[in-house]
Amino acid sequence: MGALRRPFLLLAMLALVLAVGVEVGAGLLLGGSDAGPALAGSAADLGVEVSDVSGVSEPSGRGTGYLALVDAAALWTTGLFCLGLVLPERIHGRVQGVATLIFSIVLIIVAMLALVIAFVELSIMVSLFLAPPFGTLAYLALWGFFPVGDSAVLLGLVLLLKLAWAGLLLLAQPKFLQNKGLVLLIGTSLLCTVVLEFLHRLVPVILVSILDDLGAIVFAVIAIIWALVLLIGAIPAIVKAIRATAALRAEPDPHR
C-alpha cells in the first residue's frame, strides 16, 4: 500500500483541529444580533402587545458546539496516528492504551453533563412554547430567532474542513480505508454535520432552536457511544502493554 506520507497526515490533523476550533467557537460566532423587531412582529401576530423589546438577541444554539463532542473522538484518533510519527513503536503502544482509556472516561463524563444540560434546556423550550401567549412570548424572546444563515456558513466551513481531513488521511495512507472503525468515525462526523444543517432548514425559524437542541442531544449520545468504543478498544492495548512489561522484568539480567 505504500509508506505513510507524513505531510498529508499532519495536514489532515490541522484540518480537523480547525474544524473542531470552529465548532467550539460557534457560541461566540453565532447569535447576538438584535431580534427585537422580529419579536414585536410575532407578538402582534399572537394578539399580544409588548412595550419594550430592546435587548432581545438571537441565540447561538448548541448543535454546532456539540458537534465537537463527536469530533473529539476523531481528533483523538488522528492525534494518535500523528503521535506514532515521533514515538518509538513500543512506547507508542504502551502510551496509547492508557491515554485512550483516560480520554474516553473524560469524554463520557463531559458528554453526559452536556446531555443533561441540553435535555433540560429542551424541556424548558417546549414547555414555554406550548404555553401561549406569555410562555410562547418568553420562548420567542430567548430562542425564537435562530441565526440560520450564519449557522449555515459555519457548518459549510466545518464540512469543508472535514472533507479535507478525510481526503488528506486517504492521501497519507490508502490503507486507512481498511480500518473500518476509522471509516465509520469519519462517516459519523460528516453525517452529523449534514444532519444539523438539515434540521436548521427543516422547520420555520421560530422552531429551529428546538431542533438544534434536539440535535445537540443526539450528538452527545453519539459521543458517549464512541467514547465507550474507544474505552473498550483501549483495554486490549493496556493488557498487552502489561504483559510485555512483565515479560521484560522476568528476563534474567545478563550482567549478573
The per-residue pLDDT for range 115-129, each reduced to its tens digit, is 999 999 999 999 998
Q: In the predicted model, what is the mean pLDDT of residues 15-37?
A: 81
End-to-end Cα, the chain, rounded Å: 46
Contact 4, 172 (CB under 8 A): yes
pLDDT value of position 221: 97
Contact 154, 29 (CB under 8 A): yes
pLDDT value of position 118: 95
Q: Give the pLDDT band (50/70/90) at residue 1.
A: very low
Q: Which residue, 245, 86, 87, 74, is CA-closest to 162?
A: 74
201-221 burial, b for 16+ CB within 10 Å, e for fewer? eeeeebbbbbbbbbbbbbbbe
Percent of the chain scored above 70 by pLDDT?
78
Query: Residues near 142 by Cβ (< 8 Å), separated by ≥ 6?
Result: 59, 128
pLDDT value of position 82: 85
| φ and ψ of 57, to 5 deg | -130, 160
Q: In the predicted model, what is the mean pLDDT of residues 222-245?
A: 81
- Does the pLDDT of residue 88 top 70, yes or no? no
Contact 221, 229 (CB under 8 A): no
| Measured distance CA(66)–CA(23) in Å, rounded | 8
Helix axes 89-129, 134-143, angle to 10 degrees: 150
pLDDT in tens, 183-230: 999 999 999 999 999 999 998 888 899 999 999 999 999 999 999 999
